[in-house]
A and B are shown apart, each in its own frame.
Chain A
């Protein structure tokens, strides 16, 4: 047992720089009428939180942290002076089941350093998933990190057992990749992403087709990575600015139907390479990127609209205010938005108003005019919307206050602990 504990300590430590912990959005399944365990579907469950505010939803481990690659930002790179360990397939399977039975986790997120060859490593990763599904009837969530250089055949197998597959793009440009992760290449990474996308949509289409004809056959068509694919970019290890990063994300969402792009500010590690900048980027940068990402996906912002809001032209997002607020400050002509007349899209552009509030405004309008006091109920501070909203009993005085003044005022009153505590409190899923 104690040897296993030591391995777990090493292989969990090695896995913690992967930000993904999602366990949502896969097919609904449960174990009723089986003798197995596990269920999934709908919202994922966060079973615990560590003091970094991140949730523990999956058992996130590496199969091994030995690696023949040399990615400068990575704690497991070949030259890194860290203790190494390797789990056997059966050890991970047992650990996952043991944790699951105690309700510690929703499932497994398995990744691995590359040993011997891409295919050899991927085979082991797939073997864990196969064992869990086939031998143990495990119906919880499985996320497999895919090795882009692995063979098509192994990818195809992985998709049959996993709820989600991911390949990390790591860095936003080919040059950075060559410099910091010399064994990786954008071409290989993206062509594998393309292959995954195709497999995922083919399976979906086929299922839909069969469902139209007869329900029974549809059931027999296996799911292929039903929760789609995701990826991660390291922030601050190279000198790419936010505009480059967001354009890359946009490309990934559009071309490969990514469910999520995760941003991971590179973090101090026990043995860092001299190729990396001395200081990690501020965590607030990562936070702003997530907010910008959110705007692209759920608020119908175009990528240019977000990246052009920077007051300087260094292509970086404003760290002081969220990107939506920054956009509003630069587009005063768009405001005030009359919340009793405007359509959903327009309401969504108001700083501080999220998807839920926008819907509530529309719902309330059917009964009563929205008044400025109502925003208190929506938990949006008057100070934030003061110059952007027109309500039944409220019209802002426009024009006499400059955007710079609005920003200064907002910062002054939200300065200090209150603002930052609040910014930190919000997790990445409930922005704005």
Chain B
């Protein structure tokens, strides 16, 4: 039995390649994640051992279909470490049985891997949507993040960080391990800002030139932003109480996200008032289609008439033979 402790797709791929070359079957391997190195033999040693099983010149080439690599890269972000076993079994089948199996939607490993990838993709989509940046002054940063990260962020600002430059800070709690995979998206979108996204698993920092990843942290206290009031006003005003559909809202924005969304605290109040507000609108006195409408349409008609005459004149001019 071999034990492998891997924490990243890159590591898994490195292991899987050696294992497939040495034809070590999925049943002989146990996969884990996390900081359990000390309990087992170090990974590098066992990999060397495996690599030595097959002489260098006799190692078979391992190639995987593109569809598998893409699926595996996404599924590798799944939180549960059972993913490594599923992916290795799949890779084993692709290498030793059929390359088409990746398209067989009834294969149990394909089903599980696709479900994991789907869950990860959804989580990534929600993170792109629900991260909320707070505009903070640099001077607030030392109480939120470690000195090294503050230094990194300060690298690209004009001053020394004491004169009101701002850094945008977000706290998010993703379901899966997606921070690294998503960080280029945020860097390309919020290029002209200094920002960081803090999560329990991993944090990412951007100083307008470079991305930096760091270990996760706890939720910082005191994240606030002067725009919260504007945003909540907008949220309240764009909502139409006559169309209350709580279920539809919750299926797209499940409760677990609410605690980090400033607008979510308005929900109970908005929902509760919906029917009374609608009723009131229905009962309001109705304005007669009055003089104003007649006046306004008379005005418009007059204007149309003028435009039409102008247009006609213009055409006459342009269609007239050139004077010469």
A and B: partners? Answer: yes
Contact B104 A13 (CB under 8 A): no
Closest to A136 in B: B192
Interface string of A39-78 (1 = CB under 8 A from B): 1000101111111111110011000000011101000011
Q: How far is the CB of B290 from chain A (nearest CB, A)?
A: 6
State whether the Cβ of A396 lies closer than 8 Å to any Cβ in chain B: no
Cβ contacts under 8 Å, A15 to chain B: 238
Contact of A30 among B125, B191, B246, B270 (CB under 8 A): B191
Contact of B105 among A78, A364, A421 (CB under 8 A): A364
Q: How far is the CB of B140 from chain A (nearest CB, A)?
A: 16
Cβ contacts under 8 Å, A30 to chain B: 188-189, 191
Cβ contacts under 8 Å, A267 to chain B: 240, 242-243
Contact B300 A101 (CB under 8 A): no
Assess A56 versus B248: contact at CB under 8 Å? Given A102-B133, A102-B168, A270-B284. no
Q: Tell me the bound Cα distance from A338 to B170 in angstroms.
A: 53
Contact A48 B235 (CB under 8 A): yes
Segment 1-48 of A: residues with Cβ below 8 Å from B: 1, 4-5, 8-10, 12-13, 15-17, 30-39, 43, 45-48
Q: How far is the CB of A228 from chain B (nearest CB, A)?
A: 23
Q: How far is the CB of B187 from chain A (nearest CB, A)?
A: 7
Contact B135 A101 (CB under 8 A): yes
State whether the Cβ of A104 lies closer than 8 Å to any Cβ in chain B: yes
Closest to A13 in B: B237
Contact A103 B133 (CB under 8 A): yes
Interface string of B225-243 (1 = CB under 8 A from A): 1010111011111111111
Contact A5 B230 (CB under 8 A): yes
Contact of B134 among A12, A16, A102, A360 (CB under 8 A): A102
Contact of A98 among B230, B246, B263, B270 (CB under 8 A): B230
Contact of B234 among A8, A68, A268 (CB under 8 A): A8
Contact of A70 among B170, B190, B248, B296 (CB under 8 A): B296
Main secondary structure of the interface of B (DSSP, over half): helix
Cβ contacts under 8 Å, B245 to chain A: 51-53, 424
Q: How far is the CB of A118 from chain B (nearest CB, A)?
A: 9
Contact A274 B129 (CB under 8 A): no
Q: How far is the CB of A319 from chain B (nearest CB, A)?
A: 17
Cβ contacts under 8 Å, A182 to chain B: 293, 296-297, 300
Main secondary structure of the interface of A (DSSP, over half): loop
Q: Tell me the bound Cα distance from A427 to B245 in angstroms.
A: 10
**Total of A-B residue pairs, C-beta within 8 Å:** 223
State whether the Cβ of A408 lies closer than 8 Å to any Cβ in chain B: no
State whether the Cβ of B292 lies closer than 8 Å to any Cβ in chain A: yes
State whether the Cβ of B286 lies closer than 8 Å to any Cβ in chain A: yes
Contact B239 A51 (CB under 8 A): yes
State whether the Cβ of A220 lies closer than 8 Å to any Cβ in chain B: no
Contact of B286 among A34, A274, A427 (CB under 8 A): A274
Other A-B pairs beyond A9-B237, A48-B235, A50-B240, 18, CB < 8 Å: A17-B240, A32-B187, A36-B191, A46-B252, A47-B129, A47-B130, A51-B244, A51-B246, A51-B271, A52-B239, A52-B248, A53-B252, A72-B293, A79-B290, A98-B230, A182-B300, A367-B104, A421-B247
Instruction: Return 11 A-B CB contacts under 8 Å, by A number.
Output: A5-B233, A9-B237, A35-B192, A39-B185, A45-B129, A48-B235, A51-B270, A268-B242, A268-B278, A274-B288, A424-B245
Residues of A within 8 A of B (CB): 1, 4-5, 8-10, 12-13, 15-17, 30-39, 43, 45-56, 59-60, 68-70, 72, 77-81, 95, 98-99, 101-104, 137, 182-183, 267-276, 279-280, 283, 360, 363-364, 366-368, 374, 421, 424-427
Residues of B within 8 A of A (CB): 100, 103-106, 125, 128-135, 168, 170, 185, 187-193, 208, 225, 227, 229-231, 233-249, 251-253, 261, 263, 267, 270-271, 274, 278, 281-282, 284, 286-290, 292-293, 296-297, 299-300
4 shortest interchain CB distances as A-B pairs: A53-B248, A31-B191, A30-B188, A53-B245
